[in-house]
Structure 1
Amino acid sequence: MSNNRYSVGLIIVAVGIVLLLGKLGVFGFFWEVFWPIFILAPGLLFHALYFSRVLPSGVLIPGGILTTISIIFFLCTIISWDLIAYLWPAFILAPAVGLYEFYLFDKRSPRGVLLAAAILAVIAGLLFSMTILFTVGIYFIAIILIAVGGYLIFSNNKRRSW
């Protein structure tokens, strides 16, 4: 009977500590920063189960997708959610990662898997390029125009009047 009271006492103390830390905001901070772990954990679990030969290679597809998406969410959580304006094409890249892992580690994978992964990766790359071009590309265009104009102005050794 005393072991039972001891166990119940430990559970009550643990619940009290959890409630106190929750009211102090400790869990709120951890949840705000580390919630992508709940997406990363199944992705890594799929990889671990495949490499330990428990599950077939098909689990690498959702494993790669979940792992890639969790990395995106970690970056946005740690740096800023404004970063999602630049990283959104990675959601198209995530299935490409999963398909490529499936192709890479399964010797019997269909040839179309690599083609699908490549098409998705190219689309994601093009969308990344367009996103960068449309958001910060104007700065590059301005710098190029200034450089070309400066070259035209200073390339002549003779001074010419207007």
Structure 2
Amino acid sequence: MKVDRIAFLGPILVLLGIFMLIKGEIHWTTGSTFTYFWPTLFIFPVAVFFHWLYFSILQRRGVGVLVPGGVLLVVALVCQIAMLFNSWDMMWPGFLLAPAAGLFELYWFGNRNKWLLIPINILTVLAVLFFAVFSIGSLLGSLAGGQPIIAAVLVIAGCLMMFFRKSKTM
């Protein structure tokens, strides 16, 4: 049993060490650890608790506990990525994806009620759309100021539309 605990802590320590090397300018204290890893310390364990509760204690009978478990799992992941990379402006659509994940777990492990797929699909499509829009916008914004590139693409697209438009035949 002790070997399993050591094997579980190994990757966590490696990731923490890599992060500390990358963010070397920060003087590491207990406060800075809480600053960067509060989602992993507080939200993630509650999500794991709900999943453990369903799979171990309730013996797959109380499928409803998977909804908050799935929501909190995705929220913990989104918050942790946003904290580590300071990317709240790109990660916020993950909060739309969180209820979709919880409902999908309810669908998958429950009685497969097909009506659950409607809100799951709506929330997932919105989250993916917003992730794409804000990620592309942030990427273009970081490349050489962004605005000249967008302006050039718009000018080229407009020229192509003018010169290669279909002729109307009557």
Q: Name the TM-score class by shorter chain.
A: 0.5 to 0.7
TM-fit CA distance, 1:95: 0.5
Out of 62, 73, 78, the position equivalent to 1:72 is 78
TM-score, with length taken from structure 1: 0.64
Q: Which moved more, 1:120-129 or 1:134-143?
A: 134-143
1-side partners of 2:132 and 2:53: how far apart? 35
Question: Could you list the runs of 5+ residues in structure 1 that have no partner in the other structure?
Answer: 1-24, 149-162
- Cα distance change, pair 129–34 in 1 and its aligned pair in 2 (3 A): closer
Out of 94, 99, 102, the position equivalent to 1:98 is 102
- Please provide the CA RMSD for this pair: 2.7
Out of 119, 123, 128, the position equivalent to 1:120 is 123
TM-fit CA distance, 1:30: 2.4
Amino acid at match of 2:74: T
TM-fit CA distance, 1:143: 8.1
**CA displacement 1:41-97 (0-9 Å, x = unmatched):** 1111101111114261111111111011111111122222xx110111110011011
2-side partners of 1:143 and 1:53: how far apart? 60
Q: Residue 131 in 1 paired to residue 134 in 2?
A: yes
Sequence identity percentage: 34
**CA displacement 1:10-64 (0-9 Å, x = unmatched):** xxxxxxxxxxxxxxx7421221122112111111110111111426111111111
Who wins on radius of gyration, i.e. which is larger?
A: 1
Number of equivalences: 122
Q: Residue 38 in 1 paired to residue 51 in 2?
A: no
- Cα distance change, pair 136–26 in 1 and its aligned pair in 2 (3 A): closer
TM-fit CA distance, 1:109: 4.3
1-side partners of 2:83 and 2:47: how far apart? 18
Secondary structure of the 2:134 match is helix
Question: Could you list the runs of 5+ residues in structure 2 that have no partner in the other structure?
Answer: 1-27, 158-170
Amino acid at match of 1:70: A
Q: Which moved more, 1:110-119 or 1:90-99?
A: 110-119
